[in-house]
Homo-oligomer: A and B are copies of this chain.
Amino acid sequence: MLYENKYIKIEIEKSQIPWLKIFTQIPYKEFSSCDLKTKEEILKTLDIIEETMLDFFKPEKINIASFGNYLPLLHFHIMARFKNDNFFPEPMWGVKQRENELKLPSFKEFYKILLAKLD
């Protein structure tokens, strides 16, 4: 767990790439069923994470996804993608394209900057 407030919590997905997950505090199944405040908080948080990822890692593209097919609990994945990451240009759930070691700036430093922006 990286961060939480009254409406949402952010978890880190262990991966080669910067990858965070936003969960709602109230266990909703679908995005459209969220109360307005939770919806707004998800969007604000997606925005802050995306901008911080773009600024700090200079990725090729940001990927956003919400599936929840295994566990029917609304959550959003937000991922910074790089041309030479193991799955690019496929989604992280697609076919592995290569076996590569990425040289990225410190994830810890990124979390620190992000937390300052979320407060």
Task: Indicate if A35 sits at the interface (CB-CB under 8 A).
Answer: no
CB-CB contacts below 8 Å: A91-112 with B: 91, 93-94
Give 4 nearest A-B pairs by CB, closest first.
A69-B89, A32-B50, A65-B65, A64-B66
A64 near B65 (CB under 8 angstroms)?
yes
Complex partner residue of A89 from B31, B50, B70, B88, CB under 8 angstroms: B70
CB-CB contacts below 8 Å: A53-99 with B: 54, 60-70, 72, 81, 88-91, 93-94
Complex partner residue of A65 from B29, B61, B66, CB under 8 angstroms: B66
Number of copies: 2
Interface size class of A (residues with CB under 8 A): 20 to 34
Task: Indicate if A11 sits at the interface (CB-CB under 8 A).
Answer: no
Q: Which residue of B lies closest to A91 (CB)?
A: B93
Partner-B contacts on A (CB < 8 A): 29-32, 39, 43, 46-47, 50-51, 54, 60-70, 72, 81, 88-91, 93-94
A31 near B50 (CB under 8 angstroms)?
yes
Q: Which residue of B lies closest to A34 (CB)?
A: B47
B60 near A69 (CB under 8 angstroms)?
yes
